[in-house]
Amino acid sequence: MHAKLTGMVGAGHRTIRRLLIALAVALTLAVGVGIGYLIPHKLSPSERVAPRSEDVTTSLQVNTVFRVATSEKLVALTFDDGPDPRWTPTVLDILAKHDAKATFFVIGEAAKKHPELIAREAAEGHEIGIHEWQHVDYLNQEFSDLSKRLRDTREAIIAAGAPEPTLGRPPYGRLDSPSLRVYADLGLDAVLWSHHFPGAHAADVRARNEASASPGMIVLAHDGRRDPTDALMSEIDAFITSLKAKGYRFVTISELRQHAAKTAN
């Protein structure tokens, strides 16, 4: 009996020891992974570079705009991640109510699925630009893959009846050498933003955007994926109403840039 108890105690100790060893290994791995996230990855000189352009004889360049300088009270509202059958019609109805124009940076997959919404955007005088095929970070894609996805997005826009896009906006606002080269190949300029209008705390955001409003501002909002809410739609409506009362007009990105060029001249 004593021997049996001794054997059981020994087995218990061995089990506990194995568990402690496994726990120590797991903690070591977790710490290692955590440190890997904390220490920035240093790219080698050969990573994330654009293809060579030795055989290209035409211009390759990309203009990037966060906002423009203009003497006129003009605002460019922009919407990302659509078209969405739930939210895009609501946005279009709000814009029509105020006779306001906007620029939509669309998801290619959604544009192919809902061409009627792209067609309505174009028919009502809005501008349509390229976002991404499925909202994948450009920096996570090889040059050839990104080029195909953005070309497919362009084709979906054109197939829906809209003009060939001349503007692009990267998901998360992230661009690098390969993605800039894709933009150059497609004849796109990059549009970022000076003001953000997220769905969270939309009333507070509206008040802040109104207080900091100035001619030439570019406002980022969303009509697709997870950000839009009824509250956001209401606050966008109120934002347009407020700025119109102060003499502002809402125009597309291309219209805004044209007025900026006139100001410069």
Q: How confident is the model over 50-93, as pLDDT tens digits?
A: 998 888 898 999 999 999 999 999 999 999 999 999 999 999 99
Q: Of 114, 126, 131, 222, which residue is the catalytic one?
A: 222
Q: How confident is the model over 85-103, as pLDDT tens digits?
A: 999 999 999 999 999 999 9
Is 186 a member of any domain? yes
CA dist., res. 23 & res. 25, Å (int): 5
Q: Exposed/middle/buried for 263, CB within 10 Å: 0-12, 13-18, 19+?
A: middle
Is 44 a member of any domain? no
Q: Output the pLDDT for position 47.
A: 78
Of residues 6 and 74, more confidently modeled: 74
What pTM, to 2 d.p., does this model score?
0.83
Looking at residues 242-253, what average pLDDT do you find?
98
Q: Output the pLDDT for position 202.
A: 96
Catalytic-residue membership of 80: yes
Is 45 a member of any domain? no
Is 259 a member of any domain? yes
Catalytic-residue membership of 81: no
Q: Is residue 29 predicted with pLDDT exceeding 60?
A: no
Q: What CATH number does residue 162 fall under? A: 3.20.20.370
Looking at residues 248-263, what average pLDDT do you find?
90
Domain count, the chain: 1
Q: Output the pLDDT for position 260.
A: 82
Q: How confident is the model over 35-44, as pLDDT tens digits?
A: 454 455 666 7
Q: Is residue 33 predicted with pLDDT exceeding 50?
A: no
Q: How confident is the model over 102-157, as pLDDT tens digits?
A: 999 999 999 999 999 999 999 999 999 999 999 999 999 999 999 999 999 999 99
Evaluate whether 185 touches 60 at the Cβ level (below 8 Å): yes
What is the residue-averaged pLDDT of the chain? 89
Q: Output the pLDDT for position 263.
A: 67
Q: Output the pLDDT for position 19.
A: 65
Is 107 a member of any domain? yes
Q: Output the pLDDT for position 65.
A: 97
Q: Is residue 11 predicted with pLDDT exceeding 90?
A: no
Is 34 a member of any domain? no
Q: How confident is the model over 159-212, as pLDDT tens digits?
A: 999 999 999 999 999 999 999 999 999 999 999 999 999 999 999 999 999 999
**Residues spanned by the domain of 203:** 64-264
Confidence bin at 265 (pLDDT 50/70/90): low
Is 201 a member of any domain? yes
Q: Of 80, 81, 189, 223, which residue is the catalytic one?
A: 80
CA dist., res. 118 & res. 92, Å (int): 11
Is 1 a member of any domain? no
Looking at residues 231-252, what average pLDDT do you find?
98
